[in-house]
Amino acid sequence: MSQNDSLYSYCLRLGDNSLILGHRLSEWCGHGPFLEEDIALTNIALDLVGQSRMFLQYAAELKGGDSTEDSLAYLREEREYLNALLSEQPNGDFAVTNSKNYLFSVFNYHLYSELSNSKDEKIKAIAEKSIKEVAYHVRHCGKWMVRLGKGTEESHQRLQDAVNDIWMYTDDMFESDENTDLLVEQGMAANLNKVRSNWLKDVTEQLKEATIDIPTDTWMMKGSLQGKHSEHLGFLLAEMQTIPRTFPNSEW
Amino acid sequence: MGESKEELAFQEKIDNDIKIEPKDWMPDEYRQMLIRQVSQHAHSEIVGMLPEGNWITRAPSLRRKVGLLAKVQDEAGHGLYLYSATESLGIDRIKLIQQLHNGESKYSNIFNYPTLTWADIGAIGWLVDGAAIMNQVSLQRTSYGPYSRAMVRICKEESFHQRQGYEIMTALSNGTDKQKAMAQDATNRFWWPSLMMFGPSDKDSIHSSKSMIWKIKRESNDELRQQFVDRAIAQGELIGMTFPDPDLKWNEETGHYDFGEIDWAEFKNVINGNGPCNKERIRARVKADVDGKWVRDAALAYANNV
Amino acid sequence: MSEKETEDSQLPLWEVFIQSKPGLAHKHAGNVHATDGEMALQNARDVYGRRNEGISMWVVPANAITASTPEDQGSFFDPANDKVYRHPTFYELKDGVKFM
C-alpha cells in the first residue's frame, strides 16, 4: 500500500470514529435528561461531526477524483467503514451514553496529543484544533461519571452495568495494522501503545473516583479495522444515508 | 381601569415605555397573562425541537447535519431563556413542564404537524421560523423586562435559522424534478399552518386587547400576519414556489397581498388535540422527563453528599 | 406512564456572569439550573457561550444574591440625586485650563 493510501485509510478511521460517535450523540437532541444537558450533548455532537468533516475532507483530497466528505460519509457501505466498535454502540440510557463518550473522549484526547506532533501538517493542524474540544468532552463526561457513580444507588448500579457492558469494545480502539505501523514509524500517525497506557491510567483514576470497578477477564471484541462491525452499524448507516441513496446525483 | 395608586403608577410606566421588572408591583392579571404567554412560547421552542429533530440523523450532507443540529440546539437554548423569564414571575420551571405534560399549557400548533420529507426542514426554516421571527422581533419591545431581554437574545441567534431553511429550499428548487416537487409539496403543507401561527384574527382574539394596552404584545395578530404574507410571497417567487391559495393576489390599493380565509375549524381542532402528532409530541417530552429523572436525582444526591 | 408521579425536585438556579473581553466587567447573562458549581459553570458555557460570547464566566447560586427591592428605591437611590458636588461639572474652572 502506498503512503498515500495508508494515510487515506488512517484519515477514514479517525473521521469515521468522530462521525459515528457524533451521530449517536445527535440522536439525543431533544430527548436529554434536562434542558441544559440536552444542549451540552448536542455541543459535543457538533464538535465531533466537525472533527469528522476535517478528516473526511482530507481523506477525499488524498483519494482524489470526485471524492468529497459527503461521498465518503454517505456512499460507503458497512464493510468500508473503519470506526471503532465502541462508537457505534447504541446509546442505551444516559449511563451508557456517558460512559461511551467518556471512554472515547479520553482516547481521543491522548490520540490528538500524539497527533499534535505529526509530521503530516494537515493531521497536525486538525489534532491541534480538536484537542481543545476533546479536553472539554473529557471534563464534562468525566464529571458525570463521578456524579452518577456517587449519586444514588440506582445511578451507581446503572453506571456499573454500563461500564461492564461496553468494556468489551475498548480494546478495539487501539487496534493497528501494518500500514498504520508504518505511518507511526514515519512520524505521521499516533503510537497507540502510548495512547493506550495514558488512556488506561486516566480511566483507572477516574473510575476509582467514581467508585466504579473496571471489569476484569472481559472477552474483547475487535475487528473494526477490517470493517467487521457489530450489527448496529448497518442500521445506523441505513438511516444516515437514506436520502443520498434514494435520490442519487442530487445536490442538497 | 382599576384606580389604585399602584395600578396608576404601573400603567404610567407602561405608557412611558419603562420596562416592568420582576420585583416591581404588577396587576395579578398582567402576571398571569405573561406566565401564560411566555411559558407557551417556551414550550413551543422545546416541542419544536421534535419535528425537526426527526431529520438530524437523516440530513443529506454533513454541512446540512451540523446546520440543523445547531439550529435545533438553539431552540433548546431559547426554550431555556424563556423558561427563565417565566421563572422570574414566581413559578418554577418544573411546574411549567408539568403543565405542558398534563395539557394545561399549550404550545404552538404548528409542531403538531409531521415532518414527512427533507424539504419539510427547509419549509419549516423558511416559513415557520419566518413567522416566528416576525412575532419575536415585535416582542423585543414587550413591556416585561426579562421577556424583552430574552427576545433580544433570541432574535440575535435566530437570524441564521430562516436563512438555513431558505437555503435548503433554494437548493431543492435548483435541483432535480423530484427535489422541486418535494419543495413544492412542503410549501403546500406548511403554508396555511404558518399563517395560523399568528393566532386568531384580531376581531376574535380574547387576549389581544388587554395585552396591547399593557404592551405585552406590540402588534396585533393580523398586522403581523399581513407582514409575513407580503414578505413570504416575494421570497417564494424567487425560488419558483407557488402557494396553495387561489385568493392570493396583490392589492394595488392597500399595498398588500390579499389572501384567502384561514380554516379556523382546523386550527381549533388541532389545538384541541386532534392534530396528526399531538400525542407523539407530548409522549416524547414526557418520556425524556421520566427517563431523565434518575439522572437528575443522582446529580442532586451527589451535590448533597459532597 | 403516570405523569402525576413526577415528584421532582427542581435543580437549583445559578446566575451567570460573562466577561466578554479583557478589561471589561463581568455582565449578567442569564441563568441555568444545575446541582453543583462545576455543572453550573459547564452549563453556562454550553448555554451562554455558544457564539464566542466570553473569555471568563462566573456562576453564583441565585439564592446567595441579596437584592434591593423597589420599595428601597426612595431611601437607597434618591438621596444621591442632589449631591451635585460629587460630579466634576459642579466645579468652575478658569477659562483656558486644560487636561482637567
Question: Is A97 among the domain residues?
Answer: yes
Contacting residues of C for A34, CB less than 8 Å apart: 11, 33
Question: Is A251 among the domain residues?
Answer: no
Query: Using the beta-carbon criterion (under 8 Å), do A40 and C42 form an inter-chain contact?
Result: yes
Domains and CATH numbers, chain C: 3-66 (3.10.20.520)
Q: In angstroms, what separates the C-alpha of B243 from chain C's closest C-alpha?
A: 36
Q: What is the pLDDT of residue B208?
A: 67
Contacting residues of C for A37, CB less than 8 Å apart: 43
How far is the first Cα of chain A from the last one, in angstroms, to the nearest whole number?
Answer: 35
C-alpha–C-alpha distance, residues A42 and A44, integer Å: 5
H-helix segments, chain B: 5-15, 28-53, 62-87, 93-101, 118-123, 129-139, 145-173, 177-196, 208-213, 221-238, 264-269, 278-305
Q: For the CA atoms of chain C, what is the radius of gyration?
A: 22
Question: Is A252 among the domain residues?
Answer: no
Which residues of C lie closer than 8 Å to B, measured between beta carbons?
1, 3-4, 6, 8-11, 13, 30-33, 35-36, 39, 47, 50-51, 67, 69-70
C-alpha–C-alpha distance, residues B103 and B28, integer Å: 23
- Res. C1 pLDDT band, cuts 50 70 90: very low
Question: Is A173 among the domain residues?
Answer: yes
Residues spanned by the domain of A136 = 3-246
Tens digits of per-residue pLDDT, B149-195?
999 999 998 889 999 999 999 999 999 999 999 999 999 999 999 99
Tell me which residues of chain B, numbers 82 to 141, contact chain C at a CB-CB cutoff of 8 Å.
84, 87, 92-94, 98, 101-102
Question: Is A51 among the domain residues?
Answer: yes
A42 in Cβ contact with B72 (< 8 Å): yes
Question: Is A182 among the domain residues?
Answer: yes
Domain with residue A26: its CATH number is 1.20.1260.10
Q: What is the pLDDT of residue A129?
A: 97
Contacting residues of C for B286, CB less than 8 Å apart: 1, 3
Question: Is A194 among the domain residues?
Answer: yes
Contacting residues of C for B23, CB less than 8 Å apart: 67, 69-70
Tell me the mean pLDDT in the region A212-226.
Answer: 96
- Res. A226 pLDDT band, cuts 50 70 90: very high
Let me know if A100 is exposed, middle or buried by CB neighbors in 10 A (0-12, 13-18, 19+).
buried
How much of chain B exceeds pLDDT 70, in percent? 98
Question: Is A218 among the domain residues?
Answer: yes
Q: Report how many domains make up chain A.
A: 1
Which residues of A lie closer than 8 Å to C, measured between beta carbons?
34-37, 39-40, 43, 139-140, 143, 147
Contacting residues of B for C32, CB less than 8 Å apart: 80
For cell 412560547, what's the residue?
A: B41
How much of chain A exceeds pLDDT 90, in percent? 99
User: What's the complex ipTM?
Assistant: 0.96
Tell me the mean pLDDT in the region B185-209.
Answer: 89
